[in-house]
Amino acid sequence: MRVTIRRSIEAGLSIYVPKKDLEEPIVEAEHASLWGGWIKIANGWVLDLPQMASDTRRPITINARKRGGEADCCRRFDGHQI
């Protein structure tokens, strides 16, 4: 699905899904750079992001793949284990 990732002052990193008219903050990530791993957004969705350079500028529109389960999420976005 096409999504846009951007940085906002209020929420930090957020994701927008145009087909669902959904905007949610990113609450967890597999990698600090986001790219090449999964992210979890506030509504519970887990998305796989493509591999990209860690210094990729935002906002950016990309193709992400939604995962069915959330059991493999174990690291908050700030990098601490939970």
Rounded to whole angstroms, what are the CA distances from 41 to 28, 29, 56, 57? 7, 9, 20, 20
pLDDT of residue 71: 46
pLDDT of residue 76: 55
The predicted-structure confidence for 12-54, as pLDDT tens digits, reads as follows 899 999 999 999 999 999 999 899 999 999 999 999 999 999 8
What span, in angstroms and rounded, lies between the C-alpha atoms of 6 and 74? 23
Look up residue 12 and give its amino acid. Answer: G
Residue 72 has pLDDT above 60, yes or no: no
Residue 80 has pLDDT above 70, yes or no: no
CATH superfamily of 2-66: NifT/FixU-like (2.40.50.240)
Domain range list for the chain:
2-66
Residue 60 has pLDDT above 60, yes or no: yes
